[in-house]
Structure 1
Amino acid sequence: MSLALRVIETRDLNPLIRQLRLAAADGAILPGFTPGAHVRVQVPPASGAGDWRHYSLVELDPSADLQAPRSYTIAVRREDEGRGGSRFMHSVRVGDQLTVEAPKNEFPLHRGPGRVVLVAGGIGVTPLATMAAHCRAQGQAVRMQYAGRSRDLMALLPELQALLGEDLAVHADAEAGAPLAVDALLAACGAHDQLHVCGPKPLLDAVLAGAKARGWPHDRVHFELFSAPEAQAGDHAFEVVLSQSGRTVAVGASQSVLDALIDAGCDPMFDCKRGECGVCTCTVLEGEVEHRDYCQSEAERSAGRVMQICVSRARGPRLVLDL
């Protein structure tokens, strides 16, 4: 369901992150949401059809009614080297109208007999902030580890300090002279704590690797990646053959298969564009895949029968997909 919402408030949280509050023009109650939910906002297209961006919903008031909200609050980090969506969101003004899809939650809060442990990296703090407020409202034991490059670029820090007090630990790379010590973080977790991680790929990879090394069950760590996939050393151009039409599409060294297909006028299904949701799964008929997703098992990756075209690539010069 799409909603026509107006920008009713803007606030610069720091030089890179802007907060927007959106509401219906008539002040009507909006569809409810749960902690961890996001909305999709339509932005001017990079090419072809309309483009969309995901933004987590932020609610730091423990007394707020998430099932009958009068507004949605989001925070947008400006990415000057991106495709233009964040730059557009930083240009909107109070009174502007945006097309917004109703909230969807692919990163729900999980509670158990232990604490809820929230691990935030950079702008990944946004869904975790709402989780923290909800835990406070429900009397759930919660602790947050918030990491960033420097305190002046860490959004919502004063609000989280007021909300969580001693249950908030802050790590600034500029002060510590090194990234967050993930091993120490995991070692401090209780046996029944549930981890929720949101941030850039290096943080997520470190937490997942550390949890696996400790033999933690897969369902104890819940995550959302909050950055677009970056090119890696050795990435090369290749061709994708679409078996149903016989068409061949060139994929650049710094381009995803998904984006190449969209640029070529195709209309593949997708959602997160981060390799988490599995919506863009395609059957591989020929070729070897460099898997970079977070939704397939090791057995599925080894079989090589399907791939997530938003992040995974070809190891060789050519892939044939059942599209």
Structure 2
Amino acid sequence: MSTLELKVIAVTEEAPMVRSFELASTAGDDLPGYSPGSHIRVSLPNGDDRPYSLVNLDPGVEPTQGGSRYRLGVRLEEASQGGSSFMHGLKPGDRLSVTLPKNDFALIDGPAPVVLMAGGIGITPIASMASALLRQKRDFILHYSGRAQGSLAFIAPLRALLGEKLIEHYDDLSGGYLDAGVLLSAADPESHLYVCGPKPMIEAVQAAARQRGWPEERIHFELFTPPVAQTGDKPFEVEIASSGESFTVPVGKSIIEVLEAAGQDLIYDCQRGDCGICQTDVISGEPDHRDVVLTDSEKASGKVMQICVSRAHSAKLVLDL
């Protein structure tokens, strides 16, 4: 996989627990262009990597043409598995190895109006979309929600940039979470919907949109919450149908992690359960679905699963691999 060698140019405190990082080529070269919604994967010292969305808050800049800097926004997670804690330890002059930009959350061209919804650090890809929509003079609105005033990253430049196109929601002032149903009921039914944030927010928005008859091809989402172990998780067995080999998936490890460590060649990307690339047919067993890709009927069928985040209710799964 092609990589870029970058250095940290600046680190800025954007909100409590959120920092932005400006990155430039160590060789002084221009960086490859990217489209709104793109991410890069940053290599960690332990050999793992983490995806972070590229942020553009300047509608006068066309990022697809490339430029001298990349900008990331990273929240320090309380249960960090190494990614956010590593990033928050960076200082100007530090060096990083990253992948080329990739987009699994692309903004669709066309005249249709757009509803953008972001929760917390999910603003990072959404901010780039808002800049692009301004540049394209398209009709859109951005709903940005957080737990409390002062918690939202990039809020000052977003206010200056978007004016009335930005609607802020604070749980502590409103007495609860953003009501997706009310917002979507007031939206143009021909709109494309883009939502990024924690899993409960995405699931609530998906349910509200489907209840109102929005077709799946106009509902776009990206999950910004890494998978975490849940109370009651247990080890389970995975059998590969093509070879008959069986592997134990312990608590705290994904099916992908276990199979890849055993030498299996797998296709995947996000490892958060939102891109659908790792979708696998289930021959037998009962999956424990933890993705935001499958519809309720697909989950109920038990015939497919996302092996990056989902586990098993049964003691064993047989997968079509």
TM-score (norm. length: structure 2):
0.91
Q: CA deviation at 1:245?
A: 5.8
Q: CA deviation at 1:152?
A: 1.5
Note if contact 2:40-2:51 (Cα within 8 Å) is conserved in structure 1.
Answer: yes
Partner of 1:139: 137
Equivalences for 1:64-79 in 2 at 5 Å?
A: 64-66=61-63, 67-79=65-77
Equivalences for 1:239-254 in 2 at 5 Å?
A: 239-243=237-241, 247-254=245-252
Equivalences for 1:39-54 in 2 at 5 Å?
A: 39-45=40-46, 50-54=47-51
For residues 153-172 of structure 1, give each alpha carbon's deviation from its aligned partner in whole angstroms, at most 9, with x where no partner exists. 21000110000111111001
Q: Is 276-285 or 296-305 further displaced after alignment?
A: 296-305
Q: 1:193 to 1:299 in 2, by over 3 A?
A: closer
Query: Do residues 55 (structure 1) and 49 (structure 2) align?
Result: no
Give the partner amino acid of 2:31: L
Note if contact 2:111-2:138 (Cα within 8 Å) is conserved in structure 1.
Answer: no
Q: CA deviation at 1:259?
A: 3.5
Q: CA deviation at 1:282?
A: 3.3
Alignment partner of 1:169 out of 158, 161, 167:
167
Give the partner amino acid of 1:288: E
What is the percent sequence identity of the aligned residues? Answer: 46
Q: CA deviation at 1:313?
A: 1.7
Q: 1:308 to 1:158 in 2, by over 3 A?
A: same
Equivalences for 1:216-295 in 2 at 5 Å?
A: 216-232=214-230, 234-243=232-241, 247-261=245-259, 268-295=266-293
Q: 1:297 to 1:176 in 2, by over 3 A?
A: closer
Q: 1:306 to 1:181 in 2, by over 3 A?
A: closer
Q: Is 279-288 or 217-226 further displaced after alignment?
A: 279-288
Note if contact 1:182-1:206 (Cα within 8 Å) is conserved in structure 2.
Answer: yes
Alignment partner of 1:105 out of 103, 112, 129:
103
Partner of 1:154: 152
Note if contact 2:221-2:274 (Cα within 8 Å) is conserved in structure 1.
Answer: no
Give the partner amino acid of 1:144: L
Counterpart-to-counterpart distance in 1, 2:37 and 2:99: 15
Counterpart-to-counterpart distance in 2, 1:25 and 1:16: 27
Partner-residue secondary structure (3-state), 1:28: coil
Partner of 2:13: 12
Note if contact 1:37-1:56 (Cα within 8 Å) is conserved in structure 2.
Answer: yes
TM-score (norm. length: structure 1):
0.91
Q: Is 3-12 or 309-318 further displaced after alignment?
A: 309-318
Note if contact 2:279-2:304 (Cα within 8 Å) is conserved in structure 1.
Answer: yes
Q: CA deviation at 1:65?
A: 2.9
